[in-house]
């Protein structure tokens, strides 16, 4: 496995390709996207947690004295320093995505989840369609270089669900009560600072919540994640600017979007039309 540079292609065999890259925002978090037709993993272990989700086909793996299958219906989890091996088995192809959470990333994530101490998993195979979909979406979001807040939100939400549901000690993750006015305070902060690069920590700390609690509170109270709510405020700001004659580029940056293409994507996704179509309606 190649380490370090983003987008490194670790294999040149056209039948077996793998890309491995580090997350530039989270020290100790890395990703692998592999597509194998002939590959065998010798027994090995990693310094941190490993989470793997199969996209196509599958494989067999051996851990804790047992052999099991990695399929599209399973989420694989290995604890730090837990030996395991794998091979193609009955499948002719195995395309999968995995995440590697080493000590610095795990410590930072535990803080975001409000967890103290260490957690671990008592089994390697989890059958949870929602969690599988969440980790695939998280991985794909990072692969596509989506909005940094969106990536952070998916990271905290996915690992929060994983640890709270399946980790030994994960039930210690505190669940925030929907205190009166808390959501309103955060939305007020968003309205004041939507043009800035807001982080989950900057939104959750002033109201005494962890990032994980903030996400859950917004989903229960508003029906949107903090990132989605912030995107709505940015879209409203962009439409106001466009109606007063701002250029697409100026409207995008002024509203807090990374660039014009980000504005176009969210505008079309939410409104069904492009910003140019919107401008023409007021021409």
Mean pLDDT score across all residues of the chain: 86
Is a pLDDT exceeding 50 seen at residue 80? yes
Of residues 164, 179, 231, 229, the one with CA closest to residue 209: 179
Return d(Cα 255, Cα 244) in angstroms, integer. 14
What is the location of CATH 1.10.10.60 in the chain?
174-283
Which residue's entry shows tokens 């395991």?
Answer: 84
The pLDDT value recorded for residue 88 is 87
The pLDDT value recorded for residue 10 is 43
Least confident of 149-153, 180-184, 241-245, 253-257: 180-184
Provide CB contacts within 8 A for 278, sequence distance 6+.
Answer: 239, 242, 267, 271
Query: 36-63: per-residue pLDDT in tens?
Result: 998 888 888 888 899 999 999 999 999 9
Domain topology for 8-171:
Jelly Rolls (2.60.120)
Entry pTM: 0.76
The pLDDT value recorded for residue 2 is 30
Return d(Cα 136, Cα 160) in angstroms, integer. 15
Return d(Cα 231, Cα 55) in angstroms, integer. 29
Query: 259-283: per-residue pLDDT in tens?
Result: 999 999 888 887 778 898 888 765 5
Return d(Cα 257, Cα 237) in angstroms, integer. 10
Report, at the CATH architecture level, how domain 174-283 is classified: Orthogonal Bundle (1.10)
**Mean pLDDT on 195-199:** 93
Question: Looking at per-residue confidence, does 217 or 283 come out higher?
Answer: 217
DSSP 8-class letter at 192: H
Tokens for 229, please give them.
């709510």
What is the location of CATH 2.60.120.10 in the chain?
8-171
């Amino acid at each position: 496995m190649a380490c370090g540079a983003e987008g490194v292609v670790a294999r040149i065999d056209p039948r077996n390709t793998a890309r491995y890259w580090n997350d530039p925002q989270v020290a100790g978090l890395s990703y692998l996207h592999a597509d194998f037709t002939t590959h065998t993993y010798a027994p090995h272990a990693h310094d941190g947690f490993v989470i793997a989700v199969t996209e196509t086909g599958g494989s067999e793996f051996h851990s804790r004295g047992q052999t099991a299958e990695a399929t599209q219906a399973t989420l694989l989890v290995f604890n730090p320093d837990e030996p395991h091996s794998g091979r193609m088995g009955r499948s002719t192809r195995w395309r999968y995505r995995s995440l590697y959470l080493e000590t610095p990333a795990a410590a930072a994530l535990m803080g975001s989840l409000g967890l103290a101490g260490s957690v671990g998993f008592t089994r390697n195979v989890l059958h949870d369609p929602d969690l599988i979909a969440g980790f695939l979406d998280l991985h794909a979001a990072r692969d596509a270089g989506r909005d940094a807040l969106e990536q952070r939100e998916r990271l905290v939400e996915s690992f929060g669900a994983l640890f709270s549901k399946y980790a030994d000690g994960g039930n210690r993750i505190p669940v925030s009560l929907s205190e009166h006015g808390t959501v309103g305070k955060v939305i007020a902060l968003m309205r004041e600072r939507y043009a800035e690069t807001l982080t989950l920590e900057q939104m959750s700390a002033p109201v005494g919540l962890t990032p994980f609690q903030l996400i859950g509170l917004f989903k229960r109270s508003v029906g949107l994640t903090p990132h989605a709510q912030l995107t709505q405020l940015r879209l409203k700001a962009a439409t106001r600017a466009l109606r007063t004659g701002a250029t697409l580029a100026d409207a995008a940056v002024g509203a807090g979007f990374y660039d014009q293409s980000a504005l176009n994507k969210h505008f079309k996704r939410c409104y069904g039309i492009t910003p140019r179509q919107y401008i023409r309606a007021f021409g």
